[in-house]
Structure 1
Amino acid sequence: MALLDEEGIDGLTMRRLAERIGSGVTTLYWHVDTKDDVVDLALDAIFGELPPAPPADTDWRAAIVALLLDWRTAMLRHPWSAALLQRPTLGPNLLARMEFLQAALVRAGFTGDHLTTATWTLYNYLMGATVARSGFTLSDEDREAAQQRLSDRSEEYPTLSANEYMLEDDWDGTFARGLGYVLNGIAGAAADAGSAGR
């Protein structure tokens, strides 16, 4: 994980990993079959860094907010991770978090297709927002220059210009507010599903 944090996925080779831990390359292959296995183990280890999940009787909405905020924080500590979470291997730490997420949604009243849709909606919001944040590298000067270009073309982009689109940098607040919007929609969908007999 430290090697990935420092050099990203392109910097991870079995030879460099062996040097890092003071081992031979051949010895690594006694424990893993491929570099992909190392990546899968590193990804799952990130989820082992998350704080314990709230108690099972926690309000479903508060439980989901706590889980996703911690999940995002952990991935941003390891920026290479967000873009790799589409890999098919799911380790025990990630599965434990997904279990907690779905259990909270079941407490909200979701079942069947509604449960699947709510789960993927939250997962996709989290992944999209985290990938966007981890990949955004514009400096303050670059953002100010980009906003000035929008202002110079305010007739074409009046809303973006007036609302200083390029200057917004409250990533944490924007994520939390957006999560609130998503959960408001999910809460409404849970009520609709319940009244329709799911």
Structure 2
Amino acid sequence: MSLQSVQEPRSESPLSRERIVATAVELLDAQGLDGLTMRRLADRLGSGVMSLYWHVDNKEDVFDLALDSVLEYRGPPQIVASQDWRGEVVHMLEDWRASMLRHPWSASLLPRRALGPNILSRLELLSKTLSRAGVADADLNVAIWSLWNYVMGATITRANFDLSDDGGAATQQRLARLSERYPRIERSRLLLDNDWDGAFRKGLGFLLDGLAPRQ
């Protein structure tokens, strides 16, 4: 069964594909990738495992559907005609990052799954916006992959960087003792900088400066 909508067989079960996917997302949020099994999913749904297969092919199909469901993009709150291509791109990519941070399993799952309609729609909209901004067709793939890599790298780093305030302070003190070897890192207090959102937006600005068509 593909990601595309298909007619489902009639069943006495109250299950639906939508309910299975929503419950799978809840299970993934709570227990991560290793926590999703068809048995656990069926138990959460109050169903038998075999009943799930009226609606999904297998666990891999559930992964694909759950991933695509959390990456839906509804656009800015107010859709207006705008020449602000940078603002549109920033909103698109900040929303993408925020969606994955709400569901941290998605960042590690995305690179190894088939791309579903929601992520493909994001990429299509990104492509149209960059083209409208004047990015040449010959540069479009590089531009999109550069932005993809930036979002994925920033998201995975944020989701996995688990340094407490005390741990950061201890590491910073250690760097202070090694300041002759690592002077710039120590001076910038790199490991105490927790402005993840600000760093993401500023770094994205650097990338967009490079993508802006040269006059």
TM-score higher than 0.5 here? yes
How many angstroms does 1:55 deviate by?
A: 4.1
Matched residues in 2 for 1:98 and 1:120: separation? 10
**1:40-97: CA deviation from partner (whole Å, max 9, x where unpaired):** 111110122x433574843211110111111111111111111111124111111111
Q: Which residue number corresponds to residue 70 of structure 2?
A: 46
The answer to whether residue 162 in structure 2 is matched with residue 137 in structure 1 is yes
Match of 2:91 among 52, 66, 87: 66
Name structure 1 gaps, 5 residues minimum.
193-198
Q: Which residue number corresponds to residue 93 of structure 1?
A: 118
The answer to whether residue 147 in structure 2 is matched with residue 122 in structure 1 is yes
Matched residues in 1 for 2:66 and 2:80: separation? 27
Of 103-112 and 155-164, deviating more is: 103-112
Q: Which residue number corresponds to residue 21 of structure 1?
A: 45
Q: Which residue number corresponds to residue 195 of structure 1?
A: none
Match of 1:7 among 18, 31, 44: 31
Matches within 5 A, 1:111-190: 111-187=136-212, 190=213
With structure 2 as the length reference, what TM-score do the two structures score? 0.83
How many angstroms does 1:191 deviate by?
A: 2.2
Matched residues in 2 for 1:126 and 1:57: separation? 26
Match of 1:30 among 54, 68, 72: 54
How many angstroms does 1:110 deviate by?
A: 2.1
Deviating above 6 A after TM superposition, structure 1's stretches of 4 or more consecutive aligned residues are none
The 8 Å contact of residues 51 and 70 in structure 1, kept in 2 or not, is answered as no
With structure 1 as the length reference, what TM-score do the two structures score? 0.90
The 8 Å contact of residues 133 and 171 in structure 1, kept in 2 or not, is answered as yes
Q: Which residue number corresponds to residue 191 of structure 1?
A: 214
Question: Counterpart of 2:89 in 1: which secondary structure?
Answer: helix
Percent identity of equivalent pairs: 52
Name structure 2 gaps, 5 residues minimum.
1-24
Question: Counterpart of 1:155 in 2: which secondary structure?
Answer: coil
Aligned length: 189
Matched residues in 2 for 1:114 and 1:72: separation? 23
How many angstroms does 1:21 deviate by?
A: 1.2
**1:138-159: CA deviation from partner (whole Å, max 9, x where unpaired):** 1111111111111111111111
Q: Which residue number corresponds to residue 6 of structure 2?
A: none
Matched residues in 1 for 2:43 and 2:136: separation? 49
Counterpart residue type for residue 13 of structure 1: T
How many angstroms does 1:165 deviate by?
A: 1.1
